[in-house]
Every structure is written in structure tokens, then in C-alpha cells.
Structure 1
Amino acid sequence: MLYAILKFIYRVGLQVFFRKFEVRNRHLIPAQGPLLVVSNHPNTFMDPIVIASLLRQPVYFIAKGTVFGSGFQNWMLRQMHLIPIHRREDNPDQPISNEEAFSASFRALRDGQTLLIFPEGNSFNQRRLRKIKTGTARIALGAEAENNYTLGVKILPIGLNYSAPTRFRSNVFVNIGEPIEVADYLEAYVQDKKAATVALTDEIRNCLESRIIHTPTDEEDTLARQVETLYKKRLAATIPATAPPHIHDFILTKAIIRGINHFSQVAPERVNAIKKEINHYTLQLKRLRLHDALLGKGPTTILRKSAIGLFFLLLGLPIYLYGLLHNYLPYIIPSRVARAVTKEEEWYAPIMLTVGIFTFPLFYWLEVWLLSQWIDMEGLILVLHLITLPLSGFFTLGYWDTLLHTQAHWLLLRMFFQRRRLIEQLQKEREHIIAQLEQARVEYLALQNTGS
């Protein structure tokens, strides 16, 4: 019961927290178990919330044993379908035994349940897949062995891709893969348990890596993000018309990373040269408080957008102030709580989501109650006022974004007149970088077409 209530609340909360919540291949999710769901783990507690919200059936979570504590806490976590598993890195001085966790997992699969496992073990706010542990394969194959290889266990790989994991109103792209049939490994498991376990683990890794943005190092990820900023819009024109719109960004980023990997191997000096050029250009923008997207527009376009933005800001100011007055406290409290509770960025988003689920309804209910008591507001008027509270909150967020963009437009316009030569030099640098990226794309595609 508690699980069902929390799932409903979080499902609603996710639609508010994320600007875009996009799912690819939702139809591949099996409607029932026995099922093991595996995923990368970039965003701590947010990851199981996102995945559980997509599955119709209840989900049981394999969680590290350190989250369990007192009797009441253990009871609460078990009501939320958490199964503890102990890891050597959590208690290096203690003997490790996961017999209870494996037994509980075997029982769950035998009963046709769905388990969620993050085979990386820990959560890291990075765009890469770390070493995959063998626990998932051991549970899947072990459950089959305990039940005479008749369960029909499947493993569903899910890739989680966040645009900004710790930020409110960011985007998440959930990339679901074809289920892995554990039955394909049972014959090999009978012959050699270790080899079959390793082979299944390797397939899990390959499936997950193909469904996420994977950059091997922080340095490569930084370069990929810079190229995305400069070149993704130009590159978007090359996407096949048949590709669904919600996977465009994913396709483009994967293509950029493949290109970087290729040229890092065959022409590292060329990559280093363009990296230096991009870093210099990016540093100049940062010093001037400008954004790359603005440099690709001419003064006429900037002036027109500035005028439109200013008109919207003036017209929408009363609604903005109304929304700010009624939404500021429930909006700011989750952020303050997250930063007070932890210094680890990976926990900011789930804490903000959890606290926000309570602060917004609580503040809205309190305000409606006070209005009904103080000024005798009731009936339809009270209901209409309640509806305006979240709507004005969303308007306030949009208004603030418009304000920031309009400020940036006016800043660039001022520089066009005061420091025109500097802006023209930056635009030339930008054009030169994009020309090099375009040339690299043409060469890479030529190699691909010739099969080299």
C-alpha cells in the first residue's frame, strides 16, 4: 500500500520536476516477471524513482546494506520493496555474506516479481558506464538453477540520460533496450558457471553502454559538451527524417563522441589543436558573460528578439510577481534543504523532488485555507484561485528564463556598439572552429562509407 501511494506521488512529481521526460521503446517493457531491470546509475535515488514510474508492476530494489538501520527503518524500507545487499567497500573489515539477499532475490523471481539492480554498484554523476559487477548475472542464472531452469527470467537494460542531473526543470531521456533472454546462457551455465556469468555480464554492459552517452574520461566529456554547444544545431540537419524527434539529441551526442574517439586515435595532435582553440573561445565568452548561441545571430535578429523579450517582460510582470509571491517559498525550500542535508551533488535532485512533493501542496493548501478563513472566499472562486497557483509558478519560471535571455541579448547589442572588433573576432573564431568540425565530419563519413 505504501509503495503504491509513493509511486503515484512520485509519478506526478516527476512530470513537474523535469521539463522533458522522454522514453524510447516503452513497448519493450514486459508487463510481468520474472524480470531483472538493470540500469546505469548517475543520479542516486532519482534513478529508481524514474524507472519504477514506468513499470506497471511493483518493483523490488536491490540496495546497499548501509541504508538499513533501526527496526522501524528496516520495516519502512522493506515496505518500499528494498532488498539489502552488502558490499565489501562499505564494510572492508567485516566478513561479507549476501546469502539472504540472493535468497530473497531468488524467491522474488520464482514468484514472478520484478527486481531493479544498478550493476555499477555506486552512483556517479558522470556520463559514462563504470565497471559492471557480476551480481545481476549471478542472480539471474542462480534463480534459474534453483528452479530447474524453467523460470524464463529476462533482463531489461535501461539507459538513463540526464541533461543536468541536479537541476530542476532539466531533461531526462530513458532509453529502453530489448530484453535479454537468460535462457540463452543456461546451457553454457551448466557447463561452466563462471564463464557463463562473465559472458552474460558482458552482454549487460554492451546493452547499457549502447543506450547511454558514454565518455571514457572527464576530459573527453568536457570536449564533447563543448562541441555539442558549438556544433549540435548545425549537425541536426544531418539527422535522418525517419528518426523520432525525442531521440535527436541522443543521436547527435553519440555521433559527436564517436567522432572524437576516432580522431583521438588517428590524429591526436589535430584533436589537441582544436581543443585549445575551443578552450580559448569558451574562456573569452565566459569573461564577457556571453553565450555561444548568441554569437551565431546577427545584430538585426538580436535586436528583434530583444524587443520581443522586453515586450513580454513588461506585459507579464504582474503575473510574474503574483507567481513569485505564491511560489517562492515552496520552490526555494527544497533547494535549501538539499544543500543543508548533503554536499554530494548526486543527491540534490532526489532530495529536491521529495521535499518539493510536500512543500508545494502544503503551501497551496495553507494559503487556500487562510483565504477561506480571513476573507470568506469559497466555492468556485476558491477553486479557481487554487488552479492559478501552480500555473503562475510555471509562468514565473518561463518569465525568469526570458529575462535572462533578454539580458544576454542586450549585453551583446551593447558590445556590438562598444567593442565591435572584439565581437567580430569572436565570431570569426567561432566560424573557424565550426568549419574544422564540419571538415572532420565530412572526412569521418567518407571513411565510414569506404569501410576504412
Structure 2
Amino acid sequence: MNYTNSHRFQTSVIVNVGEPIDFTEIQNKAFDDEKERVRAMTDLIYLRMSELVYYPEDSQHFDFIKDLKKLMVGVLDKELGLAEGNAAEEFKIRKRIVNEIEEIGLQNPQELKSLADRLHTYIADYQALGFRKYNPFEERAVNIMAKLFALFVGSPLFVLGAIYNGLPFLVTQRVYLKYFLPRVTKMDAQGQLNSAFAGSLGFSVGMAINLVWYILLWVVASLIMPAWVSFLITIALGYVSGRFAMVYYKWLIQAKKYFTWKLLAKRDVDAIETLLKEREQIIQGLLELRSKSK
């Protein structure tokens, strides 16, 4: 399981299922010690599983890769024409970034470190303005107008979705933040949770809480209408309106950030231009470093 950000609540996840691992060759091979056979099988499992997860083998590049994904995934999505939310293709991009950074780190470690420092500074400055993954300067005016129209027309469905799903969402978020997130570390220690495992636990808890909530709504609705009708209404309205409420909230935040960026661009022209210029230079430097390493 690969979470786009396992430290944040309600982020996307993709589950990769690889091909069955064939141990026939290892089983038929003669080993002086059975421990060597087990080690060979373990190495093969590690190799095959590493193809299905984001995580870099070298932990020293972990923070750099996180910063790089924030910067480059959107750029590559646009270049490749990927639709927003195409988790399978985005995984391939992220995995490719991880592999290439590890390769560049072996060939040009000093240049990579210099770019990593510049990128980290840029990300910090950009986030200090109140922005994160969404880049408002890349948003077309026609797209933001379409989102504003959808926000106006879809507000009743958003309210319905918030009513149906607000309570279980808040309860799940509270449980995750209180019991799981504080125990997430990058170290393997007693009582600590791996980030991916913590995300899986949070997802499971969320499913359980929402299931109980929908059952309660169904029971209450069954008091005033036939059970089968109340069941269909509860599931249809709850799920559809809940999914739309999430999209609605995302568009609302993006619209707010879009106009905030426009205001900043008018109020502090030089600072914004400097920030965007630094971004372009970092991207260009990364692409050049990538070309040299091929």
C-alpha cells in the first residue's frame, strides 16, 4: 500500500499487487547451508516488493525525494497528460523519481546535495506563504471560473454530504491524530509505527466508524420508511454526497488559494517573481542533472 502522504489524514492510496514470486530456481539450487537458501528467498522477496513501493532504499534521500515529489509530480503530470487522480500513473512517476534520485546520488552526490538544499529552502518559503501541493500560478482562469460555478451550484449537495459524513469524519480524524500519528517515526523502535502501517490502521478505523454510522442512520430511517428503501437512500445519499463533499471542499480551498496568490502577486511583485524564478531554475537544474546521469 502506497499513501501519497501517510502523515496526513484523508490522502490517496494505491494498492499494488505484483506477480506471484517463483521460488523454483532457488528451491532446486544446491546450497551448502539452508540459511543461504532462506537468505536468497528473502532477497528475492525484497527485490520484488521494492518494485511496488515508493520508499527509497537510502534514507538520506528521503526528505529530498519528498520535496522533489511536491515540485515535480505536477510538472510531469502535465507533460505526460495525466488526469488528476490517476493514482496508478502517479505511482509510476513517483517510483521513477525515487529510482533516478538514488542513481544520481551515486554519480553526482555534491551537485545533488546542492540542489536538495535549494529545493528545501524553496519549499519552506512557498509553504510559508500558505501553499502546499496546489500551485495557483498554474491554474487557468477558465478552470477557476468553472470551479466557482460548481461551488455555487453544488452547495446544497455539499451541505447534505457534510451532514451525512461530518461526524464520522471528525471522529476518525480525532482517533488518527491522537492514537496513531504521534507514534509514527522513521525509526524502527518498540511502540512506534511505520508510516505506511499507521495509514493502513487509520484507514481501517475510518471504515469501521463509517460503517457503524451508516448502520445507525439506516436503523433510524427504517422507523419512518421501509427498511429496503431506507437502506438504498442511506447508502446512495451518504456515499455520493460524501464523495462530492470532499471534492467540493478541495475546490473551495483551491479557489481561496488562487485568489490569495493573486493578491500576493499584486502586493509583493518582486518577491513572487523571485520565488517563481527560483522554482524554474531548480527544475532546470534537476533536468540537467538527470540528463548528465544517463
Same-fold status (TM-score > 0.5): yes
CA 1:364–1:258 in structure 2 vs 1: closer, same or farther (change >3 Å)?
closer
Alignment correspondent of 1:421: 270
Alignment correspondent of 1:254: 95
Q: CA deviation at 1:338?
A: 3.6
Is the CA contact 1:177–1:211 (under 8 Å) kept in the aligned structure 2? Answer: no
**C-alpha root-mean-square deviation of aligned residues, in Å?**
3.0
CA 1:440–1:196 in structure 2 vs 1: closer, same or farther (change >3 Å)?
same
CA 1:337–1:280 in structure 2 vs 1: closer, same or farther (change >3 Å)?
closer
Alignment correspondent of 1:309: 147
Alignment correspondent of 2:67: 226
Pairing 1:442–2:277 present: no
Alignment correspondent of 2:183: 344
Q: How does 1:205-284 map to 2 (within 5 A)?
A: 205-235=46-76, 247-284=88-125
- CA offsets per residue over residues 418-451 of structure 1, 9 Å max, x none? 1122111111111111111121222223xxxxxx
SS of the residue aligned with 1:334?
Answer: helix
Q: Distance in 2 between matches of 1:180 and 1:249?
A: 28
Alignment correspondent of 1:365: 215
CA 1:214–1:369 in structure 2 vs 1: closer, same or farther (change >3 Å)?
closer
Alignment correspondent of 2:188: none
Alignment correspondent of 1:318: 156
Structure having the higher strand fraction is 1
- CA offsets per residue over residues 28-83 of structure 1, 9 Å max, x none? xxxxxxxxxxxxxxxxxxxxxxxxxxxxxxxxxxxxxxxxxxxxxxxxxxxxxxxx
How many residues are paired up?
276
Alignment correspondent of 2:44: 203
Range 170-179 or range 407-416, more displaced: 170-179
Q: How does 1:91-130 map to 2 (within 5 A)?
A: none
Structure 2 residue runs without a partner (length 5+) = 185-192
Q: State which structure, 1 or 2, has the greater radius of gyration over its C-alpha atoms.
A: 1
Query: Which amino acid letter does the alignment assign opposite residue 263 of structure 2?
Result: R
CA 1:267–1:372 in structure 2 vs 1: closer, same or farther (change >3 Å)?
closer
Structure having the higher helix fraction is 2
Alignment correspondent of 1:385: 233
CA 1:193–1:403 in structure 2 vs 1: closer, same or farther (change >3 Å)?
same
Q: CA deviation at 1:222?
A: 1.4
CA 1:404–1:436 in structure 2 vs 1: closer, same or farther (change >3 Å)?
same
Q: Distance in 1 between matches of 2:200 and 2:88?
A: 24
Is the CA contact 1:323–1:396 (under 8 Å) kept in the aligned structure 2? Answer: yes
- CA offsets per residue over residues 303-353 of structure 1, 9 Å max, x none? 433322222222212211121112111222223234444542446434444
CA 1:341–1:272 in structure 2 vs 1: closer, same or farther (change >3 Å)?
closer
Q: Distance in 1 between matches of 2:17 and 2:229?
A: 44
Is the CA contact 1:335–1:348 (under 8 Å) kept in the aligned structure 2? Answer: no
Q: Distance in 2 between matches of 1:210 and 1:371?
A: 47
Is the CA contact 1:313–1:403 (under 8 Å) kept in the aligned structure 2? Answer: yes
Is the CA contact 2:122–2:275 (under 8 Å) kept in the aligned structure 1? Answer: yes
Query: Which amino acid letter does the alignment assign opposite residue 15 of structure 2?
Result: F
SS of the residue aligned with 2:2?
Answer: strand
User: Which TM-score applies when normalising by structure 2?
Assistant: 0.79
Q: CA deviation at 1:294?
A: 1.8
Query: Which amino acid letter does the alignment assign opposite residue 18 of structure 2?
Result: I
Identity of matched residues, %: 19
Alignment correspondent of 1:193: 34
SS of the residue aligned with 2:15?
Answer: strand
CA 1:169–1:384 in structure 2 vs 1: closer, same or farther (change >3 Å)?
same
Is the CA contact 1:338–1:352 (under 8 Å) kept in the aligned structure 2? Answer: yes
Alignment correspondent of 1:49: none
CA 1:218–1:403 in structure 2 vs 1: closer, same or farther (change >3 Å)?
farther
